Amino acid sequence: MSVYFEELDFRPTPMGVLSLRRRRHLATGADIYEIKLGDEFLMSSQFTTAEIELARLGLAALARTDLDVVVGGLGLGYTAQAVLENSSVRSLIVVDALAEVIEWHEQGLLPLGKQLTADPRCRLVNGDFFAMADSADGFDSNVPRRRFDAVLVDIDHSPTNLLHPRHAALYQRQGLARLAEHLHPGGVFALWSNDPPDDAFNAAMAGAFATSAAHVVTFDNWRGDHEASNTVYVGVKADLPIQQASNEAAPSAN
């Protein structure tokens, strides 16, 4: 392999051929790690600003400590690392459908792998995040129906640009409402998207959460000649169940 390019691993998967490669940035000399599925780029260590902001914006919406967090999509690990950098986080479950990506972290082939796997708060789980979100048992097979303070997701390219058609249900109001059942009252759902804010998805978020917002995150593109942007959506679940809140707000008949 060239000093400027090396394919670190190459695996056939049910979703297509998955490859991990490292290349040298000619201008800076930095190593860039990339994961591809077939001919499609899934992630690059050259662009991590929005992945980190997914964790920071999501957790910033929580006014509490001893946080239990789920991250959907391990990737290169930048969202998970940003979660663990928050001293209020007590536990983190990271769910990824690709066992190969988890193995790359466990084997130290990726820069953040040793850091994530050495943190006792962090557990990497091979599983179908979307099936877990739709299931009553939720994200922790050891504690069915466990609730969390935050669920942060970076899997599909956007709510309309999906890696698989079956993911689409999550991005509808009903799917978001089912995911919200896995959150404590006042808990947070946050989503990374490669696309600008989407009106239809904003409406779905507003229908499933007490408050919601779309944050545009800007960063330098690979040429460094102008800014690129991603979107981070953040929804906050009501502090009280709707029925309970309604009863408490009702005037007394006496």
Q: What is the pLDDT of residues 128-176, one digit of tens each?
A: 999 999 999 999 999 999 999 999 999 999 999 998 999 999 999 999 9
What residue ranges do the domains of the chain occupy?
1-46, 47-249
Instruction: Report the C-alpha gap between 130 and 110 in whole angstroms.
Output: 25
Relative to beta strand 67-72, strand 16-24 is unpaired
The CATH class given to the 47-249 domain equals alpha beta
Instruction: Report the C-alpha gap between 235 and 241 in whole angstroms.
Output: 15
Q: What is the pLDDT of residues 58-70, one digit of tens each?
A: 999 998 999 999 9
3-state secondary structure of 129: helix
* Pair of tokens at residue 3: 């000093």
Q: What is the pLDDT of residues 72-111, one digit of tens each?
A: 999 999 999 999 999 999 999 999 999 999 999 999 999 9
Amino acid at 24: R
pTM assigned to the model? 0.89
- pLDDT at position 39 is 82
Helix (H) or strand (E) segment spanning residue 84: helix 78-84
* Pair of tokens at residue 10: 């190459």
Residue 251 has pLDDT above 50, yes or no: no
